[in-house]
Amino acid sequence: MTKSYIQFTELFSRLSPYELKHLSECILCKLEAGFEEKLCGSCNKIELTGKDIKFSITEAMQDIAVALRERELQLQRMKLNKTKALVFADRKLVA
């Protein structure tokens, strides 16, 4: 588990300013979406807790991971379609 933390911090330190901004926006959106009542509610006595923030950060990171995998999958599908087009184009020319 320590290895995972080390890898995470190494990768986090390599993020560009644009990527850091995007990550921050994703986390902020999760906080706003999940805890809008607490943030904007009429009762000012309700506070956002550390547990709320931890939950939002975890949810945001999971959403980002899924989005990245979906994008990777989309790129691989495009490569597959390109390969298929090249293979089938060669077969059509021979026939």
pLDDT digits (tens, 9 = 90+) for 33-56: 877 766 666 556 667 788 888 888
In which band, very low, low, confident or very high, does the pLDDT at 93 lie, cut at 50, 70 and 90? Answer: low
pLDDT, position 82: 92
Q: Which amino acid is at 68?
A: L
- What average pLDDT does range 44-72 have in this prediction? 83
In which band, very low, low, confident or very high, does the pLDDT at 68 lie, cut at 50, 70 and 90? Answer: confident
Q: Which amino acid is at 18?
A: Y
Structural domain span for residue 46: 2-94
| Number of structural domains found in the chain | 1
pTM tops 0.75, yes or no: no
Q: What letter does residue 76 receive in the DSSP assignment?
A: H
